[in-house]
């Protein structure tokens, strides 16, 4: 009997030991499975984080690109404001019979002085750009070559320019302040200079020729400035090839001429205009004459300086 009882106790002890061992093994397996699951979950999270990080980088890049584009737009707009302010102030003084001196300046907006400089300082201040830097080269005795640049900082910033504003951020950042961009160099710079009278007339040996040349010049400047404004605003500018009366002009460039010239140029006078921004700009020109045939023909640029030469010009064909 004692032997049977001892045998039963031994059997129970072994069963309990087996159950305990099995339980510990099960717990170990559970822990291993849990650890594997956690490791797998961490790996999945890492994989999910990678595209999120890439998206953040791309978003940051887009934000910086948008900031640069806004900086370019602001710089070009301020440069245009500088130029138009100077040009308009000079024109008003000339119209009033007052003298206008050339202005060449590089430095802070706050450092500007004189009639033209004070006008620029006021205009930029009202536009919230009074803390920037400007480069100005303006000579009222010349019809071409004047320009203005504006930047937020003295170095390393986007530089805006007018006329011929830079069209990309890369181009604007490569501009050296004071060095004009976007203008083809002429082999004969003297041909680009003209003498202004009290009314801004181009030189000639008779009043008839002065009037014809001046009208041609004014029309050319209107067309050129209108086209430059549209290009700066990202608009397309179509070629203007026209020969006829001022009244017959149409389209954005033609309408701009009529609107600006209505008080100074006879609507029934004749014009010939070739203006193409995609072509060699040396081919662009304007002719003006009081009548369709037999009259003195004014041309701009490269105006005739004698009445005899002006009468030889074939209307509509650049001399």
- 169 and 201 co-located in one domain: no
In a domain, 110, yes or no: yes
Domain with 284 in it: 192-312
pLDDT digits (tens, 9 = 90+) for 204-247: 567 888 888 888 888 888 888 888 778 777 788 888 999 999 99
Distance CA 142, CA 90 (A): 12
Q: Which residues contact 149 (CB under 8 A, 6 or more apart)?
A: 79, 82, 134, 135, 136, 159, 160, 161, 175, 177, 178
Residues 240 and 294 in one domain: yes
Q: DSSP state, 175?
A: P
| Cβ-contact 78, 86 below 8 angstroms | no
197 and 103 part of one domain = no
Q: What is the pLDDT of residues 102-156, one digit of tens each?
A: 899 999 999 999 999 999 999 999 988 888 999 999 987 776 678 999 999 887 7
Q: Same domain for 236 and 283?
A: yes
The set of residues, in sequence order, having a beta carbon less than 8 Å from that of 317 and lying 6+ positions away, is none
User: Structural domain tally of the chain?
Assistant: 2
Within-domain flag for 224: yes
**Whole-number percent of the chain with pLDDT over 70:** 70
Asked whether the beta carbons of 224 and 295 are under 8 A apart, the reply is no
Q: Extract the tokens encoding 293.
A: 């045939």
- What count of Cα atoms within 13 Å lies in the side-chain half-sphere of residue 44? 6
Indicate whether 167 and 259 sit together in one domain: no
The answer, as to whether pTM is greater than 0.85, is: no
Pairing of strands 240-245, 159-162: unpaired
């Amino acid at each position: 009997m004692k032997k049977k009882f001892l045998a039963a106790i031994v059997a129970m002890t072994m069963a309990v030991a087996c159950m305990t061992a099995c339980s510990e093994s099960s717990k170990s397996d559970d822990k291993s499975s849990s650890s594997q699951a956690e490791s797998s979950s961490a790996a999945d999270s890492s994989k999910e984080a990678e595209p999120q990080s890439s998206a953040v980088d791309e978003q940051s890049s887009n934000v910086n690109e948008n900031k640069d584009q806004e900086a370019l737009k602001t710089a070009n707009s301020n440069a245009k404001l500088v130029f138009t302010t100077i040009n308009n102030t000079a024109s008003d003084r000339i119209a009033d019979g007052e003298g206008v001196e050339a202005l060449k300046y590089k430095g802070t907006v706050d450092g500007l002085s004189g009639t033209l400089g004070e006008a620029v300082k006021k205009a930029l201040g009202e536009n919230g750009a009074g803390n920037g830097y400007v480069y100005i080269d303006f000579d009222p005795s010349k019809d071409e070559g004047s320009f203005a640049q504006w930047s937020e900082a003295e170095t390393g910033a986007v530089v805006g320019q007018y006329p011929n504003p830079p069209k990309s951020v890369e181009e604007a950042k490569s501009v050296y302040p004071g060095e004009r961009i976007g203008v083809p160099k002429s082999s004969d710079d003297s041909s680009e200079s003209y003498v202004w009278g009290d009314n801004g007339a181009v030189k000639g040996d008779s009043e008839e020729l002065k009037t014809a040349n001046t009208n041609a010049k004014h029309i050319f400047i209107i067309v050129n400035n209108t086209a430059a404004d549209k290009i700066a605003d990202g608009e397309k500018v179509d070629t203007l090839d026209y020969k006829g009366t001022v009244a017959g002009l149409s389209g954005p460039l033609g309408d701009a001429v009529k609107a600006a010239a209505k008080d100074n140029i006879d609507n029934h006078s004749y014009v010939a205009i070739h203006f193409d921004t995609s072509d060699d700009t040396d081919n662009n020109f304007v002719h003006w004459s009081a009548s369709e045939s037999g009259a003195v023909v004014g041309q701009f640029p490269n105006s005739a300086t004698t009445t005899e030469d002006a009468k030889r010009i074939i209307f509509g064909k650049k001399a």
